């Protein structure tokens, strides 16, 4: 009888131990995947900012290319005017390019654009979270974006990209 209790207790503890190892592996993989996404987005934004700083409008045209490296399935680079909140480049939502944030009909989109502008007021680079539709959708989803402020020809631009964590 004592052996059965010890054996049952041992198996229970062993099962809990294995389960915790399995679950910690899943959590660690999720954290690593999340950090990898953040690193890729930061690299993409930094590369895009460097391209615009070195090539000006030609760099912006490269970023606008829907088939280029700055517009992938998982993320896309956008360029926003700090002064007007208008997206100067947004390959996933071309219909809003050039439209000042104050003219947005959708209050959620207007709030998101203003959050982007306000986030870089006192910082050169920052991560923010806001609601924005995924490309091809209208329903809002949580989006995390990395933003970098640069000045070109006396005008402040915000270079950004992000991902939709699930």
**Residues forming beta bridges with residue 36, ordered by sequence position:** none
- Is 78 part of a structural domain of the chain? yes
Q: What is the pTM of this model?
A: 0.79
Q: What is the pLDDT of residue 21?
A: 44
- Is 105 part of a structural domain of the chain? yes
Q: What is the pLDDT of residue 114?
A: 93
Q: What is the pLDDT of residue 156?
A: 94
Q: Which of left, alpha, beta for 98 (phi over 0: left; psi -120 to 50: alpha)?
A: left
Those residues of the chain that have pLDDT short of 70 are 1-32
pLDDT tens for residues 71-110?
987 789 999 999 999 999 999 999 999 999 888 888 888 8
- Is 5 part of a structural domain of the chain? no
- Is 16 part of a structural domain of the chain? no
CA distance 163 to 146: 9
Q: What is the pLDDT of residue 75?
A: 85
- Is 9 part of a structural domain of the chain? no
Work out whether strand 140-152 and strand 87-89 pair parallel, antiparallel, or are unpaired. unpaired
CA distance 123 to 81: 15
> The sheet that has 140-152: what strands, in order across it?
87-89, 78-81, 155-163, 140-152, 125-133
Number of domains in the chain: 1
- Is 1 part of a structural domain of the chain? no
- Is 130 part of a structural domain of the chain? yes
What is the extent of the structural domain holding 143?
A: 30-163
The domain that holds 158 is classified in CATH as 3.30.450.20
Q: What is the pLDDT of residue 72?
A: 84
């Amino acid at each position: 009888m004592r052996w059965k209790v010890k054996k049952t207790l041992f198996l229970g503890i062993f099962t809990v131990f294995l389960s915790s190892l399995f679950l910690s592996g899943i959590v660690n993989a999720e954290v690593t995947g999340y950090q990898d996404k953040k690193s890729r987005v930061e690299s993409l934004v930094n590369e895009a900012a460097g391209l615009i700083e070195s090539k000006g409008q030609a760099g912006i045209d490269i970023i606008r290319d829907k088939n280029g490296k700055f517009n992938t399935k998982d993320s896309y680079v956008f360029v926003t005017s700090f002064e007007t909140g208008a997206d100067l480049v947004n390959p996933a939502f071309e219909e809003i390019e050039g439209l000042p944030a104050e003219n947005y009909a959708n209050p959620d989109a207007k709030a998101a654009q203003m959050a982007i502008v306000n986030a870089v007021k006192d910082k050169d680079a920052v991560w923010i979270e806001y609601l924005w539709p995924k490309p091809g959708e209208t329903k809002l989803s949580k989006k995390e974006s990395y933003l970098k402020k640069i000045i070109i020809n006396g005008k402040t631009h915000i270079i950004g990209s992000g991902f939709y964590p699930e």
